[in-house]
Chain A
Amino acid sequence: MSNNEQHSKPLLRVQELRTWFYTFGGLVKAVDGVSFDLAPGEIMGLVGESGGGKSMIGFSIMGLIDPPGRIEGGRIEFNGKNIAGLSEDEMRVIRGKEIAMIFQDPMTALNPLYTIGNQIEETLALHTALSARERRAKAIEMLHKVGIPQPEQRLSHYPHQFSGGMRQRVVIAIAMIAKPRLLIADEPTTALDVTIQAQLLRLMRQQVVENGTSMILITHDLAAVSQMADTIVVLYCGRIVEKGPAEDIIARPRHPYTRGLIDSIPHETAENDGPKQRLSQIPGNVPDIRKLPPGCAFAPRCSRASERCRMQDPVLMEHNAIAMGSGKLRPHAVACHHPLAVSP
């Protein structure tokens, strides 16, 4: 993925995006000054704990922020055009056709009252001028591609006749059928059995690569991201704390939060016979986003925090991007006063 694309114009450029919610309990800065670029065909992992504002970035791009939320500032350039603040009618043309989205729960992602054929073809009917026969042929082809056996018969089945994994395949088929240029997958495998999570991730990756679609994979599962993504963006309390090439972030995290996330992945060690190790965790909880402490939002949970961290907000800075030769998409940037040393 990373070859020959690093110099092309980004498909999506998010700049200083701020999505705020005016709730009765106070102002929630769900997304607060987030910037990133996404190249055509690039897969980006958006990682963070629950409540970190990950999903709101996806909804902001889709133009689906409902009151009391509002895009307070920033630009979302899709294909060179700012789509933040487009009218509902203008957005509708983009949704489903240019940008598709997949949700977490395959159990409720399909309407129980319509056959899946009907639901797959709905998107086509909306965005293409294909005839009913052509739509059906396309739907069959798409179901086949996502690995659903006997697609002709399955078209006339209802969602309850499918298992969770199969439903998520259908959801992927619906998302990909209009060949979108950007796919936003919001925790696409969280609700599935562990045994089929990997299968579906692989399927998604294959679909995306085949079509040259860019993808934003929103998840709290760093393990999944590390297998899929070209770049990783780590969010904490609505802000980016670290971003960079995927292998680099996994191998050499600079932000203590990223380090914590990586350490919380249960890993299979070579010495399986050795004493079982306790899974490490990040102490404390995500703070109430309405009452963020001054300075670095992670400071209260951070072992490296100093007085400075509690006073001054760290800014996202490129930390001498590791020269890994050619082919690296992005420099490695981190927002931390005391970044972890690059271990050899």
Chain B
Amino acid sequence: MVSSQPIPATRARSRMQRFFASEFFHNYKRNLSAVLGSLIVLGFLVMVTIGPLIVSQNPYDVSQLDLMAAFKPPAWLAGGSSEYWLGTDGQGRDVLASIVYGSRISLIIGLVAMGGACLLGTTLGLIAGFYGGRLDAVIMRIADIQLSFPSVLTALFLMSAFGTGLDKVLIALISVGWVVYARTVRGSTLRETQKEYVQAARVSGLPNRKIILRHVLPNVLTPLIVVATIQVGTFVLIEASLSFLGVGVPVTQPSLGLLIKNGFDVLFSGLWWVSIFPGLFIMLLVFGINLLGDFLRDELNPRLK
């Protein structure tokens, strides 16, 4: 809690300056894993935005592929070439280039699905928590049923019902992911609506829709930041599993998971690099996201302060 002393008139400071002077930033600087996590995530973001301009080939432009260069080992092994740092796969695709393009698909899926799940789950959670009654019961029972299935199984089921494709993957992930938001938001909404400022807003004649958007929503957002961050990592993993199982993204838009699958057939023939490197990158990405999420959870949870 900030001191309730009357504070002197705030000097004009930019948002940026205030951020760098904040306790949040101070704690961040001293937290090694938080810095590491955010650097990893930042690295991935840079890689997927400007990476395609740097790598030597577009692995999905057939004209750029050289079949003669198939299954080249990484550059530091015998037979490797400095042109393909991490080696090539069976079609002569540069593994590093594939990873750059694949990370892009994986991250986009993770972020968009997270956004969709967050929007859907938050809306339902707000409605359930604010209005209560039958609506609440219906929404939360659906959520309970949803939670009783492993998320990969649910997604797998949906994919097999709707077919494969990028949009279908997103739908599957959103249907799996909204529940966390709905539960978190419903809980905080119940707590916030007890508070008198919500009563006061009702008493002042504000319509319910406005009370929810203006007064309740901003006060339940904080815990969502943590959930959302960690969920991007979870979604990247689920998507990888789906693609690995052959019901994920199409081969023309390969994600990191699909890259692992592509190399899996030859994994035990000693051509390990085709699968292992994409796998390592998934691990690194999810690791970075989770480090960041852990820091945010510690920082934004008032009970741990």
The answer to whether B204 and A123 touch across the interface, beta carbons within 8 angstroms, is: yes
Contacts of A103 in B (CB 8 A): 196, 199-200
Question: Closest residue of chain B to A62, judged by CB?
Answer: B203
Contact of A108 among B1, B196, B202, B208 (CB under 8 A): B196
The answer to whether A92 and B205 touch across the interface, beta carbons within 8 angstroms, is: yes
B82 near A: Cβ within 8 Å? Answer: no
Contacts of B1 in A (CB 8 A): 160
Q: What is the distance, in angstroms, from B130's C-beta to the closest C-beta of chain A?
A: 11
CB-contacts of B171-219 with A (<8 A): 195-197, 199-208, 215, 218-219
Cα A112 to Cα B200 in complex, Å, equals: 13
B133 near A: Cβ within 8 Å? Answer: yes
CB-contacts of A78-118 with B (<8 A): 88, 91-97, 100-101, 103-105, 108-113
Contacts of B201 in A (CB 8 A): 111, 122
Contacts of A105 in B (CB 8 A): 196
Contact of A109 among B7, B10, B196 (CB under 8 A): B196
Q: What is the distance, in angstroms, from A5's C-beta to the closest C-beta of chain B?
A: 26
The answer to whether A126 and B205 touch across the interface, beta carbons within 8 angstroms, is: yes
A23 near B: Cβ within 8 Å? Answer: no
The answer to whether A95 and B202 touch across the interface, beta carbons within 8 angstroms, is: yes
A264-298 to B contact mask, C-beta < 8 Å, 1/0: 00000000000000000000000000000000000
Contact of A161 among B6, B195, B215 (CB under 8 A): B6
A206 near B: Cβ within 8 Å? Answer: no
B9 near A: Cβ within 8 Å? Answer: yes
Cα A94 to Cα B202 in complex, Å, equals: 11
Cα A127 to Cα B219 in complex, Å, equals: 25
Total residues of chain B contacting the partner, CB 8 A: 24
The answer to whether B197 and A111 touch across the interface, beta carbons within 8 angstroms, is: yes
B4 near A: Cβ within 8 Å? Answer: yes
Cα A161 to Cα B4 in complex, Å, equals: 5
Contacts of B197 in A (CB 8 A): 108-112
Q: What is the distance, in angstroms, from B229's C-beta to the closest C-beta of chain A?
A: 21
A174 near B: Cβ within 8 Å? Answer: yes
Contacts of A62 in B (CB 8 A): 203
A162 near B: Cβ within 8 Å? Answer: yes
The answer to whether A96 and B205 touch across the interface, beta carbons within 8 angstroms, is: yes
Cα A96 to Cα B101 in complex, Å, equals: 57
Tell whether A93 pairs with B205 under 8 Å between CB atoms, given A162-B4, A163-B4.
yes
A26 near B: Cβ within 8 Å? Answer: no
A4 near B: Cβ within 8 Å? Answer: no
B50 near A: Cβ within 8 Å? Answer: no
Question: Closest residue of chain A to B194, judged by CB?
Answer: A108
Cα A101 to Cα B202 in complex, Å, equals: 10
B145 near A: Cβ within 8 Å? Answer: no
Tell whether A127 pairs with B203 under 8 Å between CB atoms, given A110-B197, A111-B215.
no
A141-161 to B contact mask, C-beta < 8 Å, 1/0: 000000000000100110011
Contacts of A162 in B (CB 8 A): 4
Q: What is the distance, in angstroms, from B220's C-beta to the closest C-beta of chain A?
A: 11
The answer to whether B204 and A100 touch across the interface, beta carbons within 8 angstroms, is: yes
Cα A275 to Cα B199 in complex, Å, equals: 47
A325 near B: Cβ within 8 Å? Answer: no
Q: What is the distance, in angstroms, from B23's C-beta to the closest C-beta of chain A?
A: 15
Contact of B219 among A64, A104, A113, A156 (CB under 8 A): A113
Question: Closest residue of chain A to B8, judged by CB?
Answer: A153
Question: Closest residue of chain B to A113, judged by CB?
Answer: B218
Question: Closest residue of chain B to A111, judged by CB?
Answer: B197
Contact of A96 among B10, B195, B196, B203 (CB under 8 A): B203
A67 near B: Cβ within 8 Å? Answer: yes
Contacts of B205 in A (CB 8 A): 91-97, 123, 126-127
B53 near A: Cβ within 8 Å? Answer: no
Question: Closest residue of chain B to A127, judged by CB?
Answer: B205
Q: What is the distance, in angstroms, from B126's C-beta to the closest C-beta of chain A?
A: 16
B2 near A: Cβ within 8 Å? Answer: yes
Cα A62 to Cα B206 in complex, Å, equals: 13
The answer to whether B204 and A96 touch across the interface, beta carbons within 8 angstroms, is: yes
CB-contacts of A128-182 with B (<8 A): 153, 156-157, 160-163, 171, 174
A317-331 to B contact mask, C-beta < 8 Å, 1/0: 000000000000000
Contacts of A104 in B (CB 8 A): 196
Cα A127 to Cα B206 in complex, Å, equals: 10
Cα A161 to Cα B5 in complex, Å, equals: 6
Cα A109 to Cα B215 in complex, Å, equals: 12
Contact of B133 among A67, A113, A126 (CB under 8 A): A67
Contacts of A112 in B (CB 8 A): 197, 219
Contacts of A95 in B (CB 8 A): 202-205
Q: What is the distance, in angstroms, from A6's C-beta to the closest C-beta of chain B?
A: 29
The answer to whether A109 and B200 touch across the interface, beta carbons within 8 angstroms, is: yes
CB-contacts of B214-241 with A (<8 A): 215, 218-219
Question: Closest residue of chain B to A124, judged by CB?
Answer: B204
Cα A4 to Cα B67 in complex, Å, equals: 103
Cα A279 to Cα B190 in complex, Å, equals: 40
B113-137 to A contact mask, C-beta < 8 Å, 1/0: 0000000000000000000010000
Contacts of B215 in A (CB 8 A): 111
Q: What is the distance, in angstroms, from B22's C-beta to the closest C-beta of chain A?
A: 15
Contact of A64 among B6, B133, B202 (CB under 8 A): B202
Contacts of A96 in B (CB 8 A): 203-206
Cα A110 to Cα B219 in complex, Å, equals: 12
Q: What is the distance, in angstroms, from A42's C-beta to the closest C-beta of chain B?
A: 21
Cα A26 to Cα B10 in complex, Å, equals: 55
Q: A88-B208, A94-B205, A171-B200 are in contact. List 11 more A-B contacts (CB 8 A).
A: A95-B205, A96-B203, A96-B204, A108-B197, A111-B201, A111-B219, A122-B201, A123-B205, A156-B10, A161-B4, A162-B4
- Nearest first, the 7 A-B pairs at minimum CB distance are A96-B204, A96-B205, A95-B205, A108-B195, A109-B196, A101-B203, A103-B196
Q: Give 13 A-B contacts (CB < 8 Å), ordered by A residue.
A: A64-B199, A94-B205, A95-B203, A96-B203, A100-B203, A103-B199, A108-B197, A110-B200, A113-B218, A122-B201, A126-B206, A161-B2, A174-B204
